[in-house]
Structures are given as C-alpha cells and as structure tokens.
C-alpha cells in the first residue's frame, strides 16, 4: 500500500469548471499513464463521481460524529479555495460510500460522465456529511478541488 502523503512527482492541476475535469479524464483514458497512488484510473474516475451523485441524490446513512463535523466546517473555506491534501483517510462512516470498487477505465469514465451530466440537470444539493450545507457554487469548488487531488496521481507517460 502506497502512502499517498509521500508521493512525489504528482501533476499540478487547477480546474476552473467541470468540463475541464472531464477533458482531463478523457485525455488520461486515451493514453498510457503511470499511476502514483493505490487506485486504478477507473477507480479514480468512479471515486470522483460518487460525491457528485450524492450531493444531488443524498448521502443516505453517511453520518459523522460532531467533532468531525466541527472540524469540517472549520476547514471548509480553505479546502474549497486551496484544495485537499494527499493521504488523508476517509472518516470511517464514509468509507463504504466513497471507496471505489475495482472497475475498468471505461466504466469509471462512464460514471464520471454521468455524474457531471447529472450536476447540470438540477440545482438541488444536499448537505455534505463533512462540510454541512453548501451552495451549488461551493459544491462545484469541492468537486474541482477533489478532482485536482485525485487526478494528480495519474501522470501520462512521457510527461
């Protein structure tokens, strides 16, 4: 198991909109890549799709203890602006909902495409189990920063 806090040579990414996430994912899927973390490219894509779908459809039983929710609210603004650090583990209650199952690159990319399309169909957004109530704009920033983190572990060969 790779300690992703210590991974060097990740890509530096900064997405401005959801279309840039999808363009990067499609580019990665179309070429050989070196993966620096623990997940396949399909798993990365699928993982990115999960909170996109949940923010529209709800998070089900995913609940966090009060101390974790307080910390989440305290770091929300900085996280949405600057991004997420590598190597942070999911809080245990979120592990089942957000750990991607093994899947092909094509399956993961299809899930990501569907999730991004879903986000464009409605302004309904459910509260984050970690960050609490968020606007549509806040959720978009969360998805952009989240994608920057995970897609940075996929480096096209020759780059």
C-alpha–C-alpha distance, residues 148 and 25, integer Å:
11
What phi and psi values does residue 81 have, to the nearest 5 degrees?
A: -85, -45
Residue partners of 15: CB distance under 8 A and separation at least 6? 21, 24, 144, 147, 148
How many structural domains does the chain have?
1
pTM of the model: 0.94
Q: 38 in a domain, yes or no?
A: yes
Q: 106 in a domain, yes or no?
A: yes
Q: 104 in a domain, yes or no?
A: yes
Q: 6 in a domain, yes or no?
A: no
Q: 3 in a domain, yes or no?
A: no
Q: What is the residue range of 68's domain?
A: 15-156
Q: 146 in a domain, yes or no?
A: yes
Q: 1 in a domain, yes or no?
A: no
Q: 8 in a domain, yes or no?
A: no
| Bridge partners (DSSP) listed for residue 34 | 155
Query: How confident is the model at residue 96, as a pLDDT?
Result: 77
**One pLDDT digit (tens) per residue for the chain, 159 residues:** 899 999 999 999 999 999 999 999 999 999 999 999 999 999 999 999 999 999 999 998 888 999 999 999 999 999 999 999 999 887 777 877 788 989 999 999 999 999 999 999 999 999 999 999 999 999 999 999 999 999 999 999 987
Domain with residue 76: its CATH number is: 1.20.120
Of the chain, the end-to-end C-alpha distance in Å amounts to 24
């Amino acid at each position: 198991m790779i300690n992703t806090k210590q991974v060097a040579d990740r890509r530096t990414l900064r997405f401005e909109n959801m279309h840039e996430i999808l363009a990067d994912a499609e580019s990665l899927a179309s070429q050989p890549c070196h993966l620096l973390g623990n997940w396949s490219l399909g798993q990365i894509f699928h993982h990115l799709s999960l909170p996109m779908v949940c923010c529209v459809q709800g998070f089900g039983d995913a609940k966090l203890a009060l101390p974790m929710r307080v910390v989440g609210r305290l770091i929300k603004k900085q996280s949405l602006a600057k991004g997420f650090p590598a190597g942070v583990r999911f809080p245990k209650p979120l592990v089942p909902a957000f750990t991607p199952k093994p899947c092909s690159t094509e399956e993961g990319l299809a899930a990501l495409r569907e999730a991004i399309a879903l986000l464009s169909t409605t302004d309904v957004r459910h509260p984050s189990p970690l960050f609490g109530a968020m606007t549509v704009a806040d959720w978009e920033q969360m998805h952009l920063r989240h994608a920057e983190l995970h897609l940075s572990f996929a480096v096209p060969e020759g780059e």
